[in-house]
Structure 1
Amino acid sequence: MNMSNEGLLVILFVGLVAGWLAGKIVRGAGFGIIGDILIGIAGAFIASWLFPKLGIAIGSGLVREIIYSAIGAIVLLLIVRLVRTGGRF
Protein backbone atom coordinates (compact mmCIF):
# COMPACT_ATOMS: atom_id res chain seq x y z
CA MET A 1 0.00 0.00 0.00
CA ASN A 2 1.67 3.19 -1.20
CA MET A 3 0.28 6.22 0.59
CA SER A 4 1.43 9.83 0.72
CA ASN A 5 1.52 11.90 3.89
CA GLU A 6 -1.47 13.91 2.68
CA GLY A 7 -3.44 10.73 2.04
CA LEU A 8 -2.64 9.53 5.54
CA LEU A 9 -3.83 12.81 7.07
CA VAL A 10 -7.06 12.68 5.06
CA ILE A 11 -7.74 9.13 6.21
CA LEU A 12 -7.07 10.08 9.85
CA PHE A 13 -9.32 13.14 9.71
CA VAL A 14 -12.09 11.37 7.84
CA GLY A 15 -11.75 8.42 10.22
CA LEU A 16 -12.45 10.75 13.13
CA VAL A 17 -15.65 11.94 11.51
CA ALA A 18 -16.61 8.44 10.34
CA GLY A 19 -16.16 7.02 13.85
CA TRP A 20 -18.44 9.65 15.29
CA LEU A 21 -20.96 9.04 12.50
CA ALA A 22 -20.82 5.26 12.98
CA GLY A 23 -21.45 5.71 16.70
CA LYS A 24 -24.57 7.73 15.89
CA ILE A 25 -25.83 5.24 13.27
CA VAL A 26 -25.18 2.10 15.34
CA ARG A 27 -26.78 3.22 18.56
CA GLY A 28 -26.23 1.08 21.62
CA ALA A 29 -23.07 -0.44 20.14
CA GLY A 30 -20.79 2.50 20.69
CA PHE A 31 -17.77 2.62 22.95
CA GLY A 32 -18.03 6.28 23.86
CA ILE A 33 -16.71 9.11 21.73
CA ILE A 34 -13.03 8.13 22.02
CA GLY A 35 -13.68 4.44 21.30
CA ASP A 36 -15.92 5.28 18.34
CA ILE A 37 -13.28 7.62 16.92
CA LEU A 38 -10.56 4.98 17.25
CA ILE A 39 -12.78 2.40 15.57
CA GLY A 40 -13.54 4.99 12.87
CA ILE A 41 -9.85 5.50 12.18
CA ALA A 42 -9.28 1.74 12.01
CA GLY A 43 -12.33 1.35 9.74
CA ALA A 44 -11.06 4.13 7.50
CA PHE A 45 -7.70 2.41 7.06
CA ILE A 46 -9.32 -0.96 6.38
CA ALA A 47 -11.83 0.49 3.91
CA SER A 48 -9.22 2.61 2.12
CA TRP A 49 -7.13 -0.50 1.61
CA LEU A 50 -9.91 -3.02 0.88
CA PHE A 51 -12.34 -1.18 -1.41
CA PRO A 52 -9.82 -0.39 -4.17
CA LYS A 53 -8.59 -4.01 -4.02
CA LEU A 54 -12.17 -5.18 -4.59
CA GLY A 55 -12.63 -2.71 -7.45
CA ILE A 56 -15.35 -0.76 -5.65
CA ALA A 57 -15.43 2.92 -6.57
CA ILE A 58 -18.07 5.13 -4.97
CA GLY A 59 -17.77 8.84 -5.63
CA SER A 60 -14.43 10.57 -6.08
CA GLY A 61 -11.86 12.40 -3.99
CA LEU A 62 -12.78 13.39 -0.46
CA VAL A 63 -16.39 12.23 -0.88
CA ARG A 64 -15.14 8.73 -1.71
CA GLU A 65 -12.93 8.69 1.41
CA ILE A 66 -15.84 9.80 3.60
CA ILE A 67 -18.12 7.10 2.19
CA TYR A 68 -15.44 4.40 2.44
CA SER A 69 -14.54 5.43 5.97
CA ALA A 70 -18.14 5.58 7.16
CA ILE A 71 -18.88 2.14 5.71
CA GLY A 72 -15.65 0.73 7.15
CA ALA A 73 -16.34 2.21 10.59
CA ILE A 74 -19.93 0.95 10.67
CA VAL A 75 -18.94 -2.56 9.60
CA LEU A 76 -16.04 -2.65 12.05
CA LEU A 77 -18.27 -1.36 14.86
CA LEU A 78 -20.84 -4.08 14.11
CA ILE A 79 -18.14 -6.78 14.04
CA VAL A 80 -16.68 -5.60 17.35
CA ARG A 81 -20.15 -5.55 18.86
CA LEU A 82 -20.84 -9.07 17.56
CA VAL A 83 -17.60 -10.38 19.05
CA ARG A 84 -18.12 -8.51 22.31
CA THR A 85 -21.68 -9.81 22.86
CA GLY A 86 -20.91 -13.40 21.89
CA GLY A 87 -22.68 -13.38 18.51
CA ARG A 88 -25.88 -11.62 19.57
CA PHE A 89 -27.01 -8.16 18.52
Structure 2
Amino acid sequence: MSAWVEILKLKDGRYYLKTLLTILTALIKTYDKSSKVNSFYYNGKEYWLDKNTRMGLMNLAKCNPSSINLVLDDTIVTTSADKAIEFLS
Protein backbone atom coordinates (compact mmCIF):
# COMPACT_ATOMS: atom_id res chain seq x y z
CA MET A 1 0.00 0.00 0.00
CA SER A 2 2.87 2.38 0.71
CA ALA A 3 3.89 2.22 -2.97
CA TRP A 4 0.46 3.58 -3.91
CA VAL A 5 0.80 6.42 -1.39
CA GLU A 6 4.18 7.38 -2.84
CA ILE A 7 2.82 7.32 -6.40
CA LEU A 8 -0.13 9.49 -5.46
CA LYS A 9 2.22 12.06 -3.93
CA LEU A 10 4.10 12.52 -7.24
CA LYS A 11 3.50 15.82 -9.00
CA ASP A 12 4.91 15.01 -12.47
CA GLY A 13 1.89 13.84 -14.48
CA ARG A 14 3.86 11.98 -17.14
CA TYR A 15 5.98 10.11 -14.62
CA TYR A 16 2.91 9.38 -12.55
CA LEU A 17 1.00 7.90 -15.49
CA LYS A 18 3.95 5.81 -16.73
CA THR A 19 4.53 4.43 -13.24
CA LEU A 20 0.84 3.78 -12.69
CA LEU A 21 0.54 2.01 -16.05
CA THR A 22 3.51 -0.24 -15.21
CA ILE A 23 2.06 -1.16 -11.84
CA LEU A 24 -1.45 -1.78 -13.17
CA THR A 25 -0.12 -3.92 -16.01
CA ALA A 26 1.83 -6.05 -13.53
CA LEU A 27 -1.23 -6.41 -11.29
CA ILE A 28 -3.43 -7.47 -14.20
CA LYS A 29 -0.88 -10.03 -15.43
CA THR A 30 -0.54 -11.45 -11.93
CA TYR A 31 -4.31 -11.64 -11.48
CA ASP A 32 -4.73 -13.26 -14.91
CA LYS A 33 -2.40 -16.09 -13.80
CA SER A 34 -4.24 -16.62 -10.53
CA SER A 35 -6.72 -19.34 -9.66
CA LYS A 36 -9.40 -16.63 -9.48
CA VAL A 37 -9.32 -16.45 -13.27
CA ASN A 38 -8.15 -19.80 -14.52
CA SER A 39 -9.85 -22.22 -12.17
CA PHE A 40 -12.98 -24.25 -12.69
CA TYR A 41 -14.92 -26.89 -10.81
CA TYR A 42 -15.53 -30.43 -11.94
CA ASN A 43 -17.48 -32.84 -9.72
CA GLY A 44 -17.13 -30.41 -6.82
CA LYS A 45 -13.33 -30.20 -7.00
CA GLU A 46 -11.45 -27.08 -8.06
CA TYR A 47 -8.90 -27.39 -10.86
CA TRP A 48 -6.51 -24.80 -12.28
CA LEU A 49 -5.11 -24.65 -15.81
CA ASP A 50 -2.91 -21.91 -17.20
CA LYS A 51 -4.40 -19.73 -19.90
CA ASN A 52 -2.53 -21.35 -22.80
CA THR A 53 -3.62 -24.85 -21.79
CA ARG A 54 -7.21 -23.71 -21.30
CA MET A 55 -7.33 -22.01 -24.69
CA GLY A 56 -5.74 -25.01 -26.42
CA LEU A 57 -8.29 -27.37 -24.87
CA MET A 58 -11.14 -25.04 -25.83
CA ASN A 59 -9.94 -24.95 -29.44
CA LEU A 60 -9.67 -28.74 -29.44
CA ALA A 61 -13.17 -29.06 -27.99
CA LYS A 62 -14.55 -26.74 -30.67
CA CYS A 63 -13.04 -28.96 -33.39
CA ASN A 64 -14.38 -32.20 -31.91
CA PRO A 65 -18.18 -32.06 -31.57
CA SER A 66 -18.55 -35.39 -29.76
CA SER A 67 -16.17 -35.68 -26.80
CA ILE A 68 -12.84 -34.62 -25.35
CA ASN A 69 -10.43 -36.11 -22.81
CA LEU A 70 -9.16 -33.76 -20.10
CA VAL A 71 -6.30 -34.62 -17.78
CA LEU A 72 -7.20 -33.18 -14.38
CA ASP A 73 -4.42 -33.86 -11.89
CA ASP A 74 -4.09 -37.66 -12.02
CA THR A 75 -7.50 -38.32 -13.57
CA ILE A 76 -8.51 -38.50 -17.22
CA VAL A 77 -12.04 -37.20 -17.70
CA THR A 78 -14.02 -37.83 -20.87
CA THR A 79 -16.77 -35.30 -21.38
CA SER A 80 -18.78 -33.76 -24.17
CA ALA A 81 -17.11 -30.95 -26.06
CA ASP A 82 -19.93 -28.60 -25.09
CA LYS A 83 -19.46 -29.37 -21.38
CA ALA A 84 -15.69 -28.92 -21.68
CA ILE A 85 -16.14 -25.52 -23.32
CA GLU A 86 -18.60 -24.55 -20.58
CA PHE A 87 -16.23 -25.10 -17.69
CA LEU A 88 -13.05 -24.00 -19.50
CA SER A 89 -14.60 -20.63 -20.39
The TM-score normalised by the length of structure 2 is 0.30
Structure with the higher strand share, 1 or 2: 2
Larger Rg: 2
The TM-score normalised by the length of structure 1 is 0.30
